[in-house]
Amino acid sequence: MTSPADRFLRVTFLTPANFGAAAGEAALDRPTQKAEDSGLPYVPDSALKGVLAGEHGDAKEKETNPEREDLYGSPDREDSPGNASRIVFGNAELLCFPLATEDGGTAYIVPAESLGRFLWLESATERFSEAVGLLTTLEAKAEQKPAVAFPAWPAIHRRFELQPLAAYTDPHAIAELTLLLTRYAQRTPTTGEPFVVVPARLAARLWLHAAEMRTATALDRGRRVVREATLRTIELIPAGSIFLSLLTLIDSNLQAPLQPQAQLGAGESNGLGWAGLSWVDPLEDSVEDAAAAVSAPRTITFDEADCMIDLHAAVRDLALDPSLWGKASAAAGNLGGRIQYSGLEAALAFELAKAKPAHKEPSVEARAHRWLLAHVLGLAPETGSKQRAETLLEHLKRGFSAPGSLEREREAILTRWLWLWRFLELGAEPIAKPEAEEKP
């Protein structure tokens, strides 16, 4: 997409839809059309062109229809050759589809390969380099069934075997993905309906559980009974699925009309195939500025080298306290998983509850969580548990839980946690304090 003549058309299905494939499948009499390379559904370009051109009437064999034929071309006639369409349609490829979660919610599954292809078509891979790197890593690790979910990890049934890509995911890459998917899908990811980006092969497997299956039969109108041997199973694209089609206007001055809703595919009499049609906003300056902001070199508000040295010393000191070592190591390991599954805010709230900062005589477990939380938040100059608890409470009073406060510190918090976790994983076993030498 190198000029204003190239546009993405967004197709958001409001009701289930079917675009019948030429051949059936083992358990399906009428599957929807799927791409051979990915096994994922698509909307044929002919369906899009037909419904948009149909708004201007039919293309008749003998009579002309200037309103339609000026944009969408004309057939060959006896007295004149036909004209090509001035709008070139591409197949609408899958951006995301809804999948029911175990807790009754919905997650939107995004094939990483499709998202990367849309970026490539827009010539935007350099501007979103960190997102492209994350998508490439997902596809490269397809056998491990990895996934990246944001803003929260959904309660997908364990039979799907999804695994977080890593306990620590670059927040800048997530910011780029959020920006892209919000623009492409025209929806902002929420905790109740998060985006889950997975390799294309894994998305094809998840599609089998997301697609809606209906049975249909034919009636013998004369006898008013079901006609024998007519039962068939139909595969439907679920409502909420979103596809993108690349349209190219041969003349950039053309204004392609677009109705807000249209019926696509088979089953119109049954209410199938109704979709909302809209243009994806072009990458204008405001959007580019936002993309550049999340892609820009990171601004570290703290010295990462000093942070690494301080945390290494903290772990070495922890090794002198065997009662805390095991509890703190387990808490640090679990914190990464909670950040990935539940988000940074929920993970730190859990740590705070475990730390029990208001208790004057904390247990060993509470002391371990105080140690971890204080070091992750960069509040650990004190050595005593009492002073550390008071510091946590003071930090709360200064707005630790205020909206946006954690977002400003997100990178620093995740960096501190990463160094702590590495040092605890690679560090030595706890050692006893050396006994004082007896004086002669």
Asked whether the beta carbons of 87 and 172 are under 8 A apart, the reply is: no
Q: How confident is the model at residue 397 (pLDDT cuts 50, 70, 90)?
A: very low
Above 60 in pLDDT, residue 430? no
Tell me if the bond preceding 151 is cis, omega within 30° of 0: yes
pLDDT winner (highest mean) among 88-102, 210-224, 313-327, 407-421: 88-102
Q: Which fold has domain 304-426?
A: Peroxidase; domain 1 (1.10.520)
Mean pLDDT of all residues in 27-49 = 83
Asked whether the beta carbons of 402 and 293 are under 8 A apart, the reply is: no
Q: Which residue has the tokens 């927040």?
A: 171
pLDDT at 240: 92
Asked whether the beta carbons of 39 and 296 are under 8 A apart, the reply is: no
pTM assigned to the model: 0.64
pLDDT winner (highest mean) among 55-69, 307-321, 346-360: 307-321
pLDDT at 286: 47
Q: What residue segments make up the domains of the chain, in order of their start?
A: 6-19+33-58+69-210+237-293, 304-426
Window from 108-117, 224-233, 392-401, 430-439 with minimum mean pLDDT: 430-439
pLDDT at 419: 85
Mean pLDDT of all residues in 45-61 = 75
Q: Which residue has the tokens 């036909």?
A: 82
Calculated CA dihedral for residues 417, 160, 32, 121, nearest 10 degrees = 20
Centroid of chain to Cα 188: 10
Mean pLDDT of all residues in 149-160 = 83
- Top-confidence residue, 17 or 340: 17
H-assigned helices in 83-231: 112-121, 129-140, 171-185, 200-210
pLDDT digits (tens, 9 = 90+) for 194-250: 999 999 999 999 998 898 877 766 677 777 777 766 667 788 899 999 999 998 877
Residue 402 tokens, joined:
């205020």
Q: How confident is the model at residue 2 (pLDDT cuts 50, 70, 90)?
A: very low
Q: How many CA atoms lie within 13 A of 305 on its CB side?
A: 0
Helix, strand, coil fractions of the chain, as percent rounded to 5 = 40, 20, 40
Q: What is the distance between the alpha carbons of residues 226 and 221, in angstroms, rounded to a whole number?
A: 9
pLDDT at 92: 93
| Number of DSSP helices (H) and strands (E) in the chain, helices first | 13, 15
Q: Angle at which helices 364-376 and 304-318 pack, to 10 degrees?
A: 170
Q: Which residue has the tokens 């990171």?
A: 298
